[in-house]
Chains A and B, each alone.
Chain A
């Protein structure tokens, strides 16, 4: 219980740091970028929206930074993120809520797939130590895990999109269709998701394979595994029920954390494939100097990561008694 409370306090503190960074960054930067932004959008937005912007970024307000900070915190806690400038007059909250499901669907499912596949390959690789799989695996996946995923996306587009014309590679669905829960529309969405998903799978699976293989090798050297062998248990049973079950614990924490990084972890994939999710909108906001939208998306990504870490910590403490004793 004390453990959970301490983690909760840490969570709150980090959230506060992220919120404060959001507040301070535009004010600390050389040449106050907010002034440039407001000058750029003057005339394009209503006077009232302009006033809100000036207050949000501390331009022409003649208020002390402390009172600005207090009202900023008030707005954040009540969910007032303001109006988007690049998509004026849509509200920031509206854009964010529309973006989340696309990223969750694409990156979330891919992350789960990469974890399951990677873990199984890692288990089998470690089990057959010295086999073909085991000897090619480490160098191969060390290299796949450094491939910049946006570049791999470009190469896949080049081969399977432009040259072979097998798959669509722009947008999250064909914009001539109206979104619905019909079979045709869902099929279209899946078609559009295949290439970005494969890109992510290739570049993320290596980490899971290698960490699982490495913890599995350590676990296989334990006495209880030798004991199971001596008892004459079947190989499959030792591999999964004895070794893998224990080796997977540290990886589960990593998995829970990677779920938190779903929203902010594949930003460039969404850029390359024009996939209208959280990352796409973040970059769009950056390119169009739409700072209110940028701030809200950064906060959203941070909160997702923090929640995942909190869950991961508590889950590990529940699953693995050793960590409880250590803390």
Chain B
């Protein structure tokens, strides 16, 4: 996992004379929008980011409109067992007589739901706790940081297994909850350090002098400035959610009635796909998981390169200089 450490690029350090002292209310949402624009430019200019974003959009489209691509019912066990690939069954059928292509296509939805659900929820908690700790300071900071650090060092995957083990089988919502509860701490710590570095900036001082309420300062002034890091946190959390949830489903702690890439692998392993020569049953869902994980990871690494220009590939930098 590449560490994401993005400097607060949204707020360049200017000499005091150039720092806008009082910022008009209407324009105060700008840092957030500006950061989003910067991310969009990055997606278009960085090749890794383009690939990651393209893959992610493709998988999202498949998850939203699966019936357009696969006409078969993914759960119906109505076909001959263990067929090889053919025009009728693009990836063949499973050892249980289901159409494998339909399973792969319909399987995108639960994984993406968990990735986005747990990714967004964990990032939300991380922002809340990280920013609150940094902004409130004092005892609040001590307590919240301690909570973050404790959760950070407890081995998360075994903990997830233990919780899921007590719950026996967990559907999509339960899985989102378990992964969110165990996964927010890493990004909360990063967000806290960035919020700390913002704390004494002039524009926050200005807001305080104007007499703005704390909540206003946090929501309107601090959080938009941190957009890049928040997006990076989301990517990290979503990637963890993909890997954790498919692992849990593979162990058999997911909901076996949901068709998803992890449960497909579980079924393949249980029905001895090796012995029956059903290699595709194992290879296809795994490649899909890798594709989704790679989409999040490539985007994340690209943002890393943008935050730290030294890491960018050299050749392209030279082309840019000469043009």
B301 an interface residue at 8 Å Cβ cutoff?
yes
B298 an interface residue at 8 Å Cβ cutoff?
yes
B42 an interface residue at 8 Å Cβ cutoff?
no
Q: Nearest chain-B residue to A152 (Cβ)?
A: B286
| Bound CA–CA A139/B311 (angstroms) | 12
**Contacts A18-B154, A21-B159, A134-B313 known; 12 new A-B pairs at CB < 8 A:** A10-B149, A13-B146, A13-B150, A29-B166, A29-B167, A30-B167, A138-B301, A154-B282, A207-B2, A218-B308, A264-B158, A291-B166
A38 an interface residue at 8 Å Cβ cutoff?
no
Report the minimal beta-carbon distance from B189 to chain A, rounded to whole angstroms.
Answer: 14
16 cross-chain CB contacts under 8 A:
A17-B150, A135-B314, A138-B301, A139-B298, A143-B297, A146-B243, A146-B297, A152-B286, A154-B269, A162-B275, A207-B1, A207-B2, A210-B2, A286-B251, A291-B166, A298-B162
Residues of A within 8 A of B (CB): 10, 13-14, 17-18, 21-22, 25-26, 29-30, 33, 129-130, 134-135, 138-139, 142-143, 145-148, 150-152, 154-155, 157-158, 161-162, 207, 210-211, 214, 217-218, 221, 261, 264-265, 267-268, 271, 282-283, 285-287, 289, 291, 294-295, 297-298, 301-302, 305-306, 309
Contact B315 A130 (CB under 8 A): yes
Known contacts: A25-B162, A286-B165, A286-B253. The answer to whether A148 contacts B315 by CB under 8 A is no
Contact B157 A264 (CB under 8 A): yes
Contact A135 B310 (CB under 8 A): no
Report the minimal beta-carbon distance from B4 to chain A, rounded to whole angstroms.
Answer: 11
1/0 per residue B242-265: CB within 8 Å of A? Answer: 010011001111000000000001
Contact B290 A147 (CB under 8 A): yes
Report the minimal beta-carbon distance from B273 to chain A, rounded to whole angstroms.
Answer: 8
B279 an interface residue at 8 Å Cβ cutoff?
yes
Q: Nearest chain-B residue to A218 (Cβ)?
A: B310
1/0 per residue B295-323: CB within 8 Å of A? Answer: 01110010010001011011100000000
Known contacts: A148-B246, A148-B290, A294-B162. The answer to whether A142 contacts B48 by CB under 8 A is yes
When distances are taken between beta carbons in the complex, the residues of chain B under 8 Å from A309 are 153
Q: Nearest chain-A residue to B5 (Cβ)?
A: A214
| Bound CA–CA A218/B7 (angstroms) | 14
When distances are taken between beta carbons in the complex, the residues of chain B under 8 Å from A217 are 310-311
Contact B294 A146 (CB under 8 A): yes
Known contacts: A29-B167, A211-B3. The answer to whether A143 contacts B158 by CB under 8 A is no
Contact A146 B290 (CB under 8 A): yes
B107 an interface residue at 8 Å Cβ cutoff?
no
When distances are taken between beta carbons in the complex, the residues of chain A under 8 Å from B157 are 264-265, 267
Question: Chain A binding site: helix, strand, loop or mixed by DSSP?
Answer: helix
Question: Chain B binding site: helix, strand, loop or mixed by DSSP?
Answer: helix
B15 an interface residue at 8 Å Cβ cutoff?
no
Report the minimal beta-carbon distance from A204 to chain B, rounded to whole angstroms.
Answer: 10
Report the minimal beta-carbon distance from A233 to chain B, rounded to whole angstroms.
Answer: 22
When distances are taken between beta carbons in the complex, the residues of chain B under 8 Å from A221 are 310
1/0 per residue B96-135: CB within 8 Å of A? Answer: 0000000000000000000000000000000000000000
**One of A151, A207, A285, A298 near B289 (C-beta < 8 A):** A151
Q: Nearest chain-B residue to A272 (Cβ)?
A: B269
Contact B154 A14 (CB under 8 A): yes
| Bound CA–CA A257/B182 (angstroms) | 19
Contact A148 B158 (CB under 8 A): no
| Bound CA–CA A10/B297 (angstroms) | 32
| Bound CA–CA A158/B275 (angstroms) | 9
B155 an interface residue at 8 Å Cβ cutoff?
yes
Q: Would you list which residues of chain B between 142 and 178 have a CB under 8 Å from chain A?
A: 146, 149-150, 153-155, 157-159, 161-168
**One of B163, B246, B251 near A25 (C-beta < 8 A):** B163
When distances are taken between beta carbons in the complex, the residues of chain A under 8 Å from B243 are 146, 148
When distances are taken between beta carbons in the complex, the residues of chain B under 8 Å from A214 are 2, 304, 308, 311
Report the minimal beta-carbon distance from A278 to chain B, rounded to whole angstroms.
Answer: 9
Q: Would you list which residues of chain B between 8 and 56 have a CB under 8 Å from chain A?
A: 48
Known contacts: A29-B166, A29-B167, A282-B158. The answer to whether A148 contacts B2 by CB under 8 A is no
| Bound CA–CA A40/B157 (angstroms) | 27
Known contacts: A14-B150, A267-B157. The answer to whether A283 contacts B251 by CB under 8 A is yes
B65 an interface residue at 8 Å Cβ cutoff?
no
Known contacts: A25-B162, A146-B243, A302-B155. The answer to whether A158 contacts B274 by CB under 8 A is yes
A33, A142, A207, A268: most-surrounded residue (chain B CB, <10 A):
A142
B224 an interface residue at 8 Å Cβ cutoff?
no
When distances are taken between beta carbons in the complex, the residues of chain A under 8 Å from B301 are 138, 142, 210
| Bound CA–CA A293/B315 (angstroms) | 55
Known contacts: A207-B2, A286-B161. The answer to whether A145 contacts B297 by CB under 8 A is yes
B78 an interface residue at 8 Å Cβ cutoff?
no
Give the top 10 A-B pairs by smallest Cβ distance, nearest first. A146-B293, A286-B165, A130-B314, A151-B286, A29-B166, A264-B155, A264-B158, A33-B166, A146-B297, A162-B274
B188 an interface residue at 8 Å Cβ cutoff?
no
| Bound CA–CA A175/B165 (angstroms) | 29
When distances are taken between beta carbons in the complex, the residues of chain A under 8 Å from B3 are 211
Q: Nearest chain-B residue to A135 (Cβ)?
A: B313
Contact A301 B155 (CB under 8 A): yes
B69 an interface residue at 8 Å Cβ cutoff?
no
| Bound CA–CA A151/B242 (angstroms) | 13
Report the minimal beta-carbon distance from A1 to chain B, rounded to whole angstroms.
Answer: 21
Q: Nearest chain-B residue to A32 (Cβ)?
A: B166
